Amino acid sequence: MAQPAIATDGPDAARAERGGVGSRLPAFDTAGGEAFAMDDAPAAYALLHNRRIPLRQAAADAYARLRPTALVKLIEQRVVDQPGGARLLSVLERPSGPCLADLALGQGLPDRIIRHQLVPAVAGALRALHEAGVTHRGINPKRLFFQDASLDRVRLMECFSAPPGGDQPAVFEPIERMTTLAAGRGEGTPADDYYALGVTVLALIKGQDLAQGRSPEQLMAAKIAHGSYWALTGGAELAGGLNVLLRGLLQDEPKQRWGGDELADWLGGANRTAATPADNWSFARQVNYGAGSYGDRRALAQALAADTGEAAAYIKKQDLEHWLSLHLPQAPTTSEFFRLILHGQGGRRSDIALGGPDYLVARFCAMLDPMGPIRFRHAVVMPDGLGPALADALNQGPGSPVAEDLADLILSPLLSSLGDIVSMMPGGVRRGSFSSDLAKLAKLIHARSQNDAVERALYALNPGLICQSALFGHRWVATPADLARAAEALAAAKANLDFADAHITGFLAANSKDAAAEFRRLPAAHRDGQALASVMLSVLGKLQQLDALGPMPALGGYFGKRLLPALRKLKSSSMRERAEKRLQAVIDKGDLELMARLFDLPSIQRKDLSGFNTARGKVNLIDRRLLALEAKVLPSDPLPLLYGARGGALFATLVLAAAAVFGGMS
Amino acid sequence: MSAAKKVRQARQVRQQTLRARHAPGLQNWVLLVVFSLAGLGFFPHLTMVILVGMMPSLVGYALARGLGRGQRAYTLAAFNLAGVLPYVFDMLWGVRQGASAALVLSDVYAWFVMYAAAALGAMVNWTAPAAAAFFIAQRNRDQARALRRVRQSLIDEWGAEVAGADAKPTPAAAAAPAPAP
């Protein structure tokens, strides 16, 4: 994440105390932040982001690369101190004209405004965004304003503060995304932006709420039954050229929906027609389920997910192969596919069978509606919306049913099974795109015994989310380097640093490959404070080195205190004394990387134990030898007999030689 | 002592023990008889003196048993020969040159010298193991002392636990901080 400047002193500090903001501007609020006027910049407004809602990082980064368009410009971003904690403040251009929704209320907007101002402006903004690789996912009448009172220039509000689609009423979402949790609608595709544009144009023409009090499920049913165009126009065809535009933009099939090129042609006056809607979702034969009869796969999926007990009973009663041949002949007919649906076991031997009703229904619904959301208990989310949905669910506090269901979803092999099913079904998304959303998850949470797996998933899927650990309180911790600095500050203030926090280890593992590798070595990190401290030292040491963070004597002292008891437990006294002397020197330097390298505790302890065992072996050997040496030596023992005989022989030889010499001489 | 040396020593003891179980080989006696007969044929008087004078060695060799018997027999024979040699030299080059065996053997002092020398050899055989035992015990004591020093240094380095519950570090080592429990 780009590091905005932190205003901590000077004129900005006074502003920073109240966030540098003036009065509230609720019209510019989003699901991710509150808008305020800027006292000293009437042409700008400030958006104070919610700490617990992840920033759409890619969209925020794309803003820097965008050429000028109808999108409001991002002037600056900085972190400001607030009573509830440091928060990100984005300063954006402020349109002073009225909101298009307010202008259109009751009577609708004139044709010329829509044709000559709204559509070209939004089309240009979308094209720029899509070229930068991001989607807007927040196009609706309340996010469109006139630049000023002259009403000649339309501005589109920013799209990075809220989860994608999180601010959208369900009616602005295409069929496959409209019944999900608001935060779980997902990044989507450019086609989803053009759909939202189509609904926006229709809403501004009609000047009324197109939902008309209907629930998302009712709206979905209407769109499935009649198509979005007819469901939203109320069956009345609109006259004029806008009709063609709307038919093109409101195509339910994304491949047939108008995109940037078609829109540009239409704006240029070319004679474009909307394609006849394709029918890819009908059953070959109607399915009787419950009290109803279903001709559309998506509708049946929705009905099944509403009551998993009844749905599972229905599914288990069917002969799946026969059912598919009757109703869904385009589905695969291999035994592997059937096993995947019924038991969640694919070709991989390591797959664990998941036979609970919720899992079975989730798989069956994925088969019926491969373009639609994951439907697992309370967790109805698009695969590309898992991250924001998880962040939102965890924000609701412990015990949130959605959070528990999402955790089960993430930690179980169900996601892999769903990916397999979706990729095998015609019309399903390519495996690559589904898997790319889960690629980070698979790497980080492969060891499901890790007790921070959910947190790893949270931060891996939400790169714009700051560390939510209570340890850092009100600090802004957006990167591992920030975490290291915050930890140093806490250690210097003699705060109780407890790294056994799933948010800390999850944040580090998700944002640092080195950290992820270190934590993989430690399956039960939270159960062993000493081992976790050792790993944290290694992680922070690497961060200190990679990010050139400078000496960290306070953290050095903290880790030194934790290392000392373990070093004092070493059995070798020389190793102990040497280690204690070296530790003090390293603490004074504040070099965590050096400390981690010199005091690799597991390695030191292994060496110590190995030395101890060797010494013990030597002592045992010595004791045995001493027993033998201290035994009484008798002349009748073999060795004295042997050596005595040799000695005597040697002496006899000398005597004989002397006798020979002297006897010969005489 | 190095491990290789210990192994060599143990092997020698084993071999000697095995050999000691059997009586001396017959071939040695055959050789003795042959040489005696040859000697009697060519140098009858000299051979007679040697045979009579070396009788204790022959008896000792015949009766020798146990570890190192060959060397013990050698010791006895060497001392015995040391007592016989002067008279042999006498008969060859000295005052008794060309004398008969009866002349030499009629000298009681000759008997005394030859057999006393053999007795000295027997005494050496008898006392040598005790002397060896003394030196071995001394060497063992020195080795034990050195090993105890090594053992203590290991205890001082690694703590009493390395040697079992009753081991104690030296006072100097005990003064150093012990490992935390």
Q: Tens of pLDDT along A72-110?
A: 999 999 999 888 889 999 999 999 999 999 999 988 898
How many whole angstroms separate alpha carbon B100 and alpha carbon B96? 8
CB B88 within 8 A of CB B50: yes
* Average pLDDT rounded to a whole number, residues A459-471: 90
Q: With H, G, I as helix, E, B as strand and everything else as coil, classify residue A506.
A: helix
Q: What is the pLDDT of residue A10?
A: 41
Q: CB–CB of B129 and A570 under 8 A?
A: no
DSSP-derived letter for residue A117 is I
Best A581, A607, A619 residue to mutate vs chain B (most B CBs within 10 Å): A619
Q: Tokens 């690694």: give the residue.
A: B158
For residue A625, give the nearest of B67, B77, B147 by CB distance: B147
Cα dihedral A333/A335/A340/A342 (nearest 10): 90
Please check the confidence at residue A337 and state whether its pLDDT lies above 80. yes
Q: How far apart are CA A520 and CA A516, in angstroms?
A: 6
For the cut 80, the answer to whether the pLDDT of residue A275 exceeds it is no
Q: Are A52 and A61 in contact (CB under 8 A)?
A: no
Contacts of B132 in chain A (CB under 8 A): 635, 639-644, 647
How does residue B175 score in pLDDT terms, banded at 50, 70 and 90? low
Q: Report the complex ipTM.
A: 0.82
Chain B residues touching residue A619 (CB < 8 angstroms): 151, 154-155, 162-163
Q: Which two tokens stand for residue A430?
A: 């390519």
pLDDT digits (tens, 9 = 90+) for A526-581: 556 777 888 889 889 988 988 888 899 999 999 998 888 889 999 999 999 999 99
**Among candidates A615, A639, A659 on the partner chain, residue whose Cβ is nearest the Cβ of B158:** A615
The answer to whether the beta carbons of residues A601 and A534 sit under 8 Å apart is: yes
Q: How much is the pLDDT for A100?
A: 95
**At B108, phi and psi to the nearest 5?**
-65, -30
Which residues on B lie below 8 Å from A570 (Cβ)?
A: 179
Collapse the DSSP code of A376 into the 3-class scheme (helix H, G, I; strand E, B; otherwise coil) and give the result: strand
Of B23 and A342, the structure prediction assigns the larger pLDDT to A342
Residues 6 or more apart in contact with residue A47 via CB below 8 angstroms: A28, A30, A33, A34, A35, A36, A89, A90, A91, A92, A158, A161
The answer to whether the CB of A121 falls within 8 A of the CB of A146 is no
What pLDDT score does A3 carry? 37
pLDDT digits (tens, 9 = 90+) for A169-197: 999 999 999 999 999 999 999 999 999 99
* pLDDT of res. B18: 67
B150 touches chain A (CB under 8 A): yes
Range A242-271 average pLDDT: 89
Higher pLDDT, B7 or A383: A383
Q: Rounded to 10 degrees, what is the CA torsion of A164, A167, A172, A174?
A: 30
What is the mean predicted confidence (pLDDT) over A508-525? 76
Residue with tokens 């009787």: A288
Q: What is the pLDDT of residue A298?
A: 93
More confident residue, A646 or A520: A646
Chain B contact for A213, CB < 8 A? Answer: no
Residues of A in contact with B124 (CB under 8 A): 648, 651-652
Residue B7 burial by Cβ neighbours in a 10 Å radius (0-12, 13-18, 19+): exposed
Alpha-carbon distance of A382 to A461, in angstroms, equals 13
Query: In this complex, which of A572, A643, A663 lies closest to B85 when CB atoms are compared?
Result: A663
Cα separation, B107 vs B105, whole angstroms: 5
Number of Cβ pairs closer than 8 Å across A and B? 171
Who's near A173: CB < 8 A, 6+ residues apart? A165, A185, A192, A195, A196
Q: Which of B158, B166, B168, B170 is the best mutation test for A, with the most CBs of A within 10 A? A: B158
List of residues 6+ apart from A140 with CB closer than 8 A: A101, A167, A168, A169, A172, A196, A199, A200, A203
Task: Select the residue of B81, B86, B156 nearest A656 (Cβ to Cβ).
Answer: B81
Determine, for residues B16 and A625 on separate chains, whether the beta-carbon distance falls below 8 Å: no
Does the pLDDT of residue B177 top 70, yes or no?
no
A30: β partners: A33
pLDDT at site A423? 82
Q: Can you list the positions of beta strands (E) in A530-583?
A: none
Select from B70, B77, B132 the Cβ nearest to the Cβ of A647: B132
Phi, psi of B46 (to 5 degrees): -65, -45
Q: Chain B, 27-46: which have a CB under 8 Å from a chain A CB?
A: none
Q: Min CA distance, A563 vs chain B (Å)?
A: 13
- Model confidence at B176, pLDDT cuts 50, 70, 90, reads low
Closest alpha carbon within chain A to B83: A659
What does the pLDDT average to over A212-226? 92
d(CA A353, CA A648): 87
Give the H or E element holding residue A286: strand A282-289
How far is A536 from B17, CA to CA, in rounded Å?
67
Q: How does residue A621 score in pLDDT terms, banded at 50, 70 and 90?
A: very high
Could you read off the pLDDT of A39-68 as tens digits, one per residue?
Answer: 888 899 999 999 999 999 889 988 878 888
CB A295 within 8 A of CB A282: yes
Helices (H), ranges, A238-385: 241-249, 260-267, 297-306, 308-317, 320-327, 335-343, 357-368
- Please check the confidence at residue A334 and state whether its pLDDT lies above 70: yes
Provide the residue type at A325 as one letter: S
Of all residues in chain A, what percent carry a pLDDT higher than 90?
53
* Alpha-carbon gap, residue A118 to A122, rounded angstroms: 6
pLDDT value, residue A304? 94
The distance from CA A23 to its chain's CA centroid, rounded to whole angstroms, is 34
A654 to chain B, any CB pair closer than 8 A? The answer is: no
Burial (CB count <10 Å: 0-12, 13-18, 19+), residue A423: middle
Grade residue A11 by pLDDT with cuts at 50, 70 and 90.
very low
Cβ count within 10 A of residue A106 = 8
Rounded-to-integer distance, Cα A652 and Cα A656, Å: 6
Q: How far apart are CA A527 and CA A515, in angstroms?
A: 18
Specify the pLDDT at position A346. Answer: 57
B116 reaches A (C-beta below 8 A): no
Contact (CB<8Å) A645/B9: no
Per-residue pLDDT, A239: 65
Residue A438 is predicted with a pLDDT of 57
Return the C-alpha torsion angle B132, B137, B143, B146, nearest 10: -140
Q: Name every residue whose Cβ is closer than 8 Å to that of residue A52 and which is 6 or more positions away in sequence.
A: A391, A395, A468
Q: Is the pLDDT of residue A249 over 90?
A: yes
Most confident of A594-603, A607-616, B20-29: A607-616
- Would you state the pLDDT for residue A416? 82
pLDDT over threshold 80, residue A353: no
- Is any Cβ of chain A less than 8 angstroms from the Cβ of B80? no
Comparing A272 with A544, the larger pLDDT belongs to A544
What is the average pLDDT across A429-437?
A: 53
- Tabulate helix, strand, coil % of chain B (nearest 5): 80, 0, 20
pLDDT at B165: 60
Shortest Cα–Cα distance, B84 to chain A (Å):
9
Q: Is A155 helix (H, G, I), strand (E, B) or coil?
A: strand
Q: Under a CB-based contact definition with an 8 Å cutoff, are residues A186 and A383 in contact?
A: yes
Geometric angle at alpha carbon A353, from A348 and A354, rounded to 5° = 130
Residue B142, classed as helix, strand or coil, is: helix
Mean pLDDT value of segment B83-93: 88
Alpha carbon of B24: minimum distance to chain A alpha carbons (Å): 17
The predicted pLDDT at position A429 comes to 56
**Average confidence score pLDDT of chain A:** 86
**CA A602 and chain centroid, separation:** 31
Q: Which of A612, A640, A653 lies at the smallest CB-CB distance from B162?
A: A612
Positive or negative torsion for Cα A629, A634, A640, A642? negative
Q: Determine whether the interchain pair A648/B162 forms a contact, defined as Cβ–Cβ distance below 8 Å.
A: no
- Whether residue A422 has pLDDT greater than 90: no
Task: Give me the residue from B67, B141, B154 closest to A642, CB to CB.
Answer: B67
Mean pLDDT along residues A216-221: 92
Other CB atoms within 10 Å distance of the CB of residue A186: 27
The distance of A534 to chain B (nearest Cα, Å) reads 19
On chain A, the residues whose CB falls within 8 A of the CB of B17 are 638
Question: Across the interface, which of B76, B136, B181 has its CB nearest the CB of A633?
Answer: B136
> Coil, strand, or helix at residue A289?
strand
Residue B79 to residue A658: CA distance in whole angstroms: 11
pLDDT for the residue B181: 56
**Given its phi and psi angles, is residue A174 left (phi above 0), alpha (psi -120 to 50 degrees) or beta?**
beta
Top residue of A621, A632, A643 to mutate, by most chain B CBs within 10 Å, is A643
pLDDT in tens, A199-217: 999 999 999 899 889 999 9
Per-residue pLDDT averaged across A519-532, rounded? 67
**Inter-chain contact A573–B89, Cβ cutoff 8 Å?**
no
User: What residues of chain A lie within 8 A of the CB of B54, using their CB?
Assistant: none
State how far the alpha carbon of B113 is from the alpha carbons of A83, A192, A589, in Å.
Answer: 122, 130, 91
CB-based contact A383:A438 (threshold 8 Å): yes
Residues of B in contact with A635 (CB under 8 A): 129-130, 132-133
Question: A651–B124: do the CB atoms touch at under 8 Å?
Answer: yes
Instruction: Find the DSSP H helices in A569-600.
Output: 573-589, 592-598
Residue A13, pLDDT score: 41
- A644 contacts B128? CB cut-off 8 A: yes
Structure token pair of residue A47: 């958006």
Nearest by CB to B71, which of A572, A634, A648?
A648
Most confident residue range from A234-238, A395-399, A527-531, A574-578: A574-578
Q: Which residues pair with A294 in a beta bridge?
A: A287
Q: What percent of chain A has pLDDT over 70?
A: 89
Tokens of A251: 């195509």
Measured in angstroms, the CA of A532 and the nearest CA of chain B are apart by 20
Two structure tokens written together for A482: 């920030």
Chain B residue numbers touching A565 (CB-CB < 8 A)? 180
Own/partner pairs, A347-353, CB within 8 angstroms, 24+ separation? A348/A416, A351/A413, A351/A416, A351/A417, A352/A413
In angstroms, the CA A517 to CA A294 distance is 50
Can you count the helices (H) and strands (E) in chain A? 29, 11
| Max avg pLDDT among A211-215, A497-501, B1-5, B101-105 | A211-215
Chain A from 560 to 579: CB within 8 A of any B CB: 565, 568-574, 576-577
Chain B neighbours among A 103-162 (CB < 8 Å)? none
